[in-house]
Each structure stands twice: as C-alpha cells, then as structure tokens.
Amino acid sequence: MEKAKSYALKLLSKRDYFEPELRSKLLLKGFTEEEIQKTIEYLKDQKLLDDRKLLERYKEINLQKGKSPLSIKNKLYRKGITDVEFSFEEELKSALHLLNFKYKKEKNYADIVKFLKNRGFSYSVIQEAVNKFLDGEE
C-alpha cells in the first residue's frame, strides 16, 4: 500500500484529481483493488481527495471562462463524474461573461444567439443573456 500511497501523493502534488480519475491511474499502474481502496480512504481522511470541493472549483473556473454547462458536463463525464447540476444563474453568468469577452463593438441579435447556441447554452439562458447583453445590463 505504501507504493500506491506514494504514487497517489506524487500525482496529487502536480494537480488535483477526482476519485475516479485517481482510481483509474492507480489501476493502470498495476496496484490491486485493495491497495487502491486503502489509499483512497487514506487520502480522504487526510482531506487530500475531495470530489465535492474539486467539482465546485472546477465548475467555477470553467464558468468564468465562459464554458457552457454542456461543455463542462462532457469534460467531467470523461473524468468519471456524472452527477453535475448547474443553476440558471450560473449558466446565465457564464453566457454573459462570454458575450462581454467576445463581442466588443458590433452586436447583431441573430449572430449572438447562434454563437451561444453553438456553445451549448440552453434556450432560456440564451434569451435572457442576449436581452441583458443588448440592453447593456450585467
């Protein structure tokens, strides 16, 4: 187990991992299921592995970058995280941030709607974001 713990700590020193990601890495390295489980429990006890906190931070960072919830959910799904919810306000804030970054001068309603639609935002958020954006609200 010491080798598994040492390897896991080495991985976590470089970046944060979700539990399914870390479990997969340890499996690929050839550790047994029992070693992996004990290592995961140890890391959780030491508060070095917390999927809930990492998920919130991951969502916040990607929403600030203007990523749509659909895009974020797809990335998280590939990391082994399947239970993710976004509030209307989170999605709206992300869409507005993206619009403020993307559109500086010309503001064509149809182009903006198409832009957000292609990024995977929901229709209700697109309507609200475009109206706020074109009205100059934040």
Tens digits of residue pLDDT in 116-127: 999 889 999 999
Whether domain 1-49 has CATH 1.10.10.10 = yes
Place of tokens 């991951």: 58
Token pair belonging to 72: 């974020």
> 33-59 in b/e burial notation, b at 16+ Cβ within 10 A?
eebbeebbebbeeeeebebeebbeebb
pLDDT in tens, 8-36: 999 999 999 999 999 999 999 999 999 99
Q: Where are the domains of the chain?
A: 1-49, 50-138
Give the count of beta carbons closer than 10 Å to the beta carbon of residue 23: 19
- pTM for this entry: 0.77
- Distance CA(52)–CA(85), nearest Å, equals 12
